Amino acid sequence: MPARYTHSNVVAVQDAAPQRKVASVFVFLNRRPWSLRVLLAIFMFLALPVWLSNAAVDDQIEGEVVILAINDVYRIEGVDGGQRGGMSLVRTLRRQLERESSDVLVLHAGDFLFPSLLSQQTQGAHMVKMMNALDGAPGVHDPQMFVVFGNHEFDKSKKQHTALLQARIDESEFEWLGSNIRFSQKEGASIGSSHNLKMSTIVHSGGIRVGLFGLTTNLKPAHDIAFVDEFLDPLAVAEEQSTALRTRGAEVVIALTHLSVARDRNILEKLGERGPDLIIGGHNHQRQHVEINGRWILKADADARTATVVHIRMIKQKPFLSFGYRFLDRNRLTPDPKMQQQVERVVREHEVWFCSQKNEEARCLERSVGETAVALVGEEVEIRSYETNLGNWVADQVRTLVPDADIAFINAGSLRANQDIPPGSITRRHVEELLPYDSDLVQVELDRHQLDAVLERAAEGWPGRGHWLQISGFSFTYDPRKAQGHRVDDISLVQDGKTIGLPDRPLQAITYKFLAEGGDGYDMLKPLERVAVGGGLKTRLRAILEARTKPIRPQVDGRICNLTEIGKRPCAFQIVISK
């Protein structure tokens, strides 16, 4: 086992257990000013060099809570053909942790009801069912499991969807935390009271009183959600809830958040001792650990590729934390048999439903609709941060749908495969999972200043953002180190494989109606006149693939040039359009 404690404030620890293969970090979650922490560290180093040996500290542990945290889980079956992630591996990990500790606190940092291919049928009920089974006792309330609302919990946001969300909350055998959400009390659009919905709570776990509250992003604004009146300021709510929970006796306060890491950082930077001791977060879709003055923000990878495992030990009434990431791969963990049977049954039942709804043959989702000669890069972190060959191919098909179109751009958040498609057959399932929204396309006219504003928005908050663009018909360079408004340069059209300067006329651009209406922060497009291209993109892509006689072989050709990564990724100016 690794050394558990040290007199240092922070130490990296490598877990030696081969079945775990995680990197851990140990932290003293103190609430003292920085100057005093430095003096204490010096004193501890000079006067008490051995008091934190393993044996000595083990004798002083007054309680220990173990936390298993996941976030942004859309697929119950996992990704990469079920080899990574999925609910059956989460269940296995929980069972392992429960063998080592009497109490395991399970936290989900939001985004699970929508969107997924299965949620088109179940409206999220299948995910609640799987989460109810994570304790191995479906039908029994799980007092150790808590979730926060993600922005995708509000995908169904009209008045008639009020009862739908209420049903998902009521069906849950765990608690939802909505600390900064003011639900409407209007008749017919009210999320009524439920024993599963709380502003905050204190849970006794491992002999520690843990205070929990939840914060949700307003990425989908309240005025677009019929049953939400307001998303309260996360900073103000974090201070209020942290104070209230400590007053009620919480020894450790944890914020379960579905916010950007920038907003999580702002909470810890601004509040310090007045804020939470730890933030367990989601929304960013990639594992992160950020330390702010002795407090931490922890996030795991989307679709349960990894889970965050945290140990908090009370020593002399002070919380100490260590954490690591557990990789949920089948070459490391064996799926829980009962959970895996449930997963496979739900997936089969969905396919039967889907194919019958489309009046198509059984197992229609496994039918090949085309072929690829190369792996198509659709993994979420990659496609939301860089030009990818899959993004290039889709954007190229969008542009060629309109003969006089100069350019096309689509938000990477619309391409939701979250896994690469290997060389070989492209199935109906691949296409359906890639484009769950099937957004309509429109044509707009842009001048060079408007296009520059569009690209500045794309580069904002790089990397790993859903508003990042995949593009066709043009190229640009950008430098993410520069200030907003000065990141983008060298915008050129691409014609016949060569770059040329922008013409002295408006550009004809094809994009999603969602973006043209200001979605994902593209407010600069809202005033533009829109002409409907007609039909959804998903149906068009299937038709394009089915009409081809040869495999597609798109490539990354440098149409998006990140100046900080020259030499690492293509940054060419002789561009070959994806075929």
Residue 293 CA to chain centroid, in angstroms?
25
Same domain? 373 vs 337: no
- pTM score of the predicted model: 0.84
Residue 75 placed within a domain: yes
Same domain? 301 vs 402: no
pLDDT at residue 189 in the model: 84
Mean pLDDT of all residues in 425-443: 93
pLDDT at residue 43 in the model: 41
Mean pLDDT of all residues in 182-191: 89
pLDDT band of 79, cuts 50, 70, 90: very high
Residue 350 placed within a domain: no
Better-scored residue on pLDDT, 436 or 351: 351
Domain boundary pick from 341, 375, 407: 341
- State how far the Cα of 274 lies from the Cα of 246, in Å rounded to an integer: 10
pLDDT at residue 58 in the model: 59
The DSSP code for 448 is: H
Residue 197 placed within a domain: yes
What residue spans of 174-260 are helical by DSSP H? 234-247
- Pairing status of strand 23-28 against strand 288-292: unpaired
Same domain? 395 vs 307: no
Whole-number percent of the chain with pLDDT over 70: 88
Residue 359 placed within a domain: no
pLDDT band of 496, cuts 50, 70, 90: confident
Start-to-end C-alpha separation, the chain: 53
Please write the tens of the pLDDT for every residue from 205-220.
999 999 999 999 998 9
Question: Residue 551 pLDDT > 50, yes or no?
Answer: yes
Which stretches of 300-430 are assigned E, i.e. beta strand? 306-315, 318-327, 368-372, 407-411, 424-427
Same domain? 272 vs 395: no
The DSSP code for 152 is: G
pLDDT at residue 577 in the model: 43
pLDDT at residue 59 in the model: 57
Residue 370 CA to chain centroid, in angstroms?
29
pLDDT at residue 308 in the model: 98
pLDDT at residue 51 in the model: 32
317-331, 365-379, 438-452, 565-579: range with lowest mean pLDDT? 565-579
Mean pLDDT of all residues in 32-53: 42
Better-scored residue on pLDDT, 577 or 301: 301
Residue 4 placed within a domain: no
**Under 8 Å between Cβ of 82 and 122:** no
- Per the prediction, the chain carries an average pLDDT of 88
pLDDT at residue 572 in the model: 62
Whole-number percent of the chain with pLDDT over 90: 78
7-16, 72-81, 260-269: range with lowest mean pLDDT? 7-16
Residue 354 placed within a domain: no
The amino acid present at 2, given as its one-letter code, is: P
Same domain? 386 vs 445: yes
Domain boundary pick from 306, 341, 376: 341
- State how far the Cα of 245 lies from the Cα of 243, in Å rounded to an integer: 6
Q: Domain count of the chain?
A: 2
Same domain? 332 vs 387: no
Two structure tokens written together for 210: 């843990």
Mean pLDDT of all residues in 400-411: 95
- State how far the Cα of 240 lies from the Cα of 275, in Å rounded to an integer: 8
Same domain? 403 vs 551: yes
Domain CATH number, residue 376: 3.90.780.10
Question: Residue 22 pLDDT > 60, yes or no?
Answer: no
Same domain? 106 vs 250: yes
- Strand (E) or helix (H) holding 51: none
Same domain? 174 vs 309: yes
| Structural domain range at position 470 | 367-562
Same domain? 389 vs 519: yes
Same domain? 301 vs 411: no
Domain CATH number, residue 212: 3.60.21.10
The DSSP code for 201 is: E
Residue 132 placed within a domain: yes
117-121, 295-299, 404-408, 493-497: range with lowest mean pLDDT? 493-497
Two structure tokens written together for 253: 């306060």
Residue 576 placed within a domain: no
Same domain? 45 vs 116: yes
